[in-house]
């Protein structure tokens, strides 16, 4: 089950994590975000102990999103050992693209 992250717990849940972390930036009014959500929720089951999935509601964390240069939704940031290693965004983003990048990062 994805963990809800926000400005206050981002360091602990994402930057200090040993596993690869996927951060799903979404919004309740974002159709593509809502369409991808059930698939994103299952990624931890697929990748097991190699991946941690988190979700950040951009509508409640606008300033924090701007500080991370997240300007559109959906956006996915992938962190490894506290560093952003990949970034995917766009309304036409497909689950296959997300999984392809995750496989490259997780190895």
Q: Which residues are catalytic?
A: 30, 33
Cα 18 from Cα 80, distance rounded (Å): 7
Cα 2 to its chain centre, rounded Å, is 9
**Residue partners of 2: CB distance under 8 A and separation at least 6:** 24, 40, 41, 44, 53, 54, 55
Judged by DSSP in three states, 64 sits in helix
């Amino acid at each position: 089950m994805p963990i809800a992250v926000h400005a206050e717990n981002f360091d602990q849940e994402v930057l200090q994590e040993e596993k690869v972390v996927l951060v799903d930036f979404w919004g309740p009014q974002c159709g593509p975000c809502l369409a991808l959500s059930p698939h994103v929720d299952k990624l931890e089951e697929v990748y097991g102990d190699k991946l941690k999935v988190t979700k950040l509601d951009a509508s409640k964390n606008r300033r924090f999103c701007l500080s991370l240069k997240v300007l559109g939704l959906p956006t996915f940031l992938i962190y490894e050992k506290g560093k952003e290693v990949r970034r995917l965004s766009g309304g036409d983003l497909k689950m296959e693209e997300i999984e392809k990048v995750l496989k490259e990062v997780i190895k």
